[in-house]
Amino acid sequence: MRDTARQIIRINDPHDPRIAEFRDIRERDLVGRHGQFIAEGTVVLRMLAAAHVSAKARFRAETLLLLENRLEGLGEILAAFPAEVPVYVASAAVLDQIAGFHLHRGVLALGSRMLEQGADALLNALPEKALVGVCCGISNHDNIGSIFRNAAAFGVSALLLDETCCDPLYRKALRVSVGSVLSVPFARGGAALSLLETVDRAGFAIFGLSPRGEIDIRNVPKGNRVALVTGTEGEGLPAHIMERFQTARIPQMPQLDSLNAATATGIALYEMARGQDLLG
């Protein structure tokens, strides 16, 4: 399976310009990269390879940077990338100097977003039968990553993130999503209400998720196009969204702090996917 045509380039100097994009990645995470992102770990790397060679080509790998002793075990994944993607290797000492902290996984890739669709275009491209998730104000990278992972598990066609959500291509969100950010189509931007009006115009029945929702999540009517809206964990959805759209609740014990936002979204998507017969 090993790709013999590929050249493996050894990096000895942490200041080598060829791996400049991997330098001090923790600090760079905070500023945003304008369409570039860092993928970390073998699971995410495998998803990046799949995205790179897919016909949709929404993402591509620019460069790989690996700990030298990981090379042997990654043969199959590396073979999935075209030979023109450069693969750099470094010792643990050099790699830690590049990254700016101890990188025990030893597997990094620089990726680029090739295609950025708006919510309108994304929704128009969906099949007639589709389940969509809309996130409003999910600013925690763990939660946004988990929501992508849950969306992938339950066959969600697309996720729409309002302008107050964090970037799912941030390194930690990507890792928590086990790479699902690269497989579940998404759009990010716009105010929550105007985003939901776009979803409404695309023919989706919209349900806001809230512990005070009107109907039991299991009783969401079957329909071809259904959308779930999730708000922040503390505050939930804003009043003007709750008033404008239908709302649904997950039955649970009354208590101070209900479910985590990502878990609640997971359960709701699970119920809605079952209702739409999306699952086996």
- Which residues contribute to the site for a second copy (CB under 8 A)? 43, 46, 146, 149-150, 152-155, 178-179, 218, 250-260, 262-263, 266-267, 270, 274, 279-280
Q: Which is nearer to a second copy, 124 or 219 (CB)?
A: 219
Q: Taking the complex as a whole, how short is the minimal distance between the CB of residue 256 and a second copy, in angstroms?
A: 7
Question: What is the secondary structure of 42-93 as a DSSP string?
Answer: HHHHHHHHHHHHSTT--EEEEEEEEEGGGTGGGHHHHHTS-TTS-EEEE-HH
Q: Taking the complex as a whole, how short is the minimal distance between the CB of residue 252 and a second copy, in angstroms?
A: 4
Q: Taking the complex as a whole, how short is the minimal distance between the CB of residue 173 and a second copy, in angstroms?
A: 14
Query: Under the phi-then-psi rule, with left for phi > 0, alpha for psi from -120 to 50, and beta for the rest, what region is 210?
Result: beta
Contact present, 231 and 238 (Cβ < 8 Å): yes
Q: Which is nearer to a second copy, 208 or 266 (CB)?
A: 266
Cα dist. 276→123, 136, 148 in Å? 18, 23, 19
Q: Taking the complex as a whole, how short is the minimal distance between the CB of residue 64 and a second copy, in angstroms?
A: 19
Q: Which is nearer to a second copy, 50 or 193 (CB)?
A: 50
Residue in this structure with the two tokens 């700990």, named with its chain if needed? 67
Q: Taking the complex as a whole, how short is the minimal distance between the CB of residue 196 and a second copy, in angstroms?
A: 25
Q: Which is nearer to a second copy, 86 or 266 (CB)?
A: 266
Q: Which is nearer to a second copy, 88 or 148 (CB)?
A: 148
Counted residue by residue, the chain has a size of 280
Q: Which of 109, 92, 83 is nearest to 25 (CA)?
A: 109
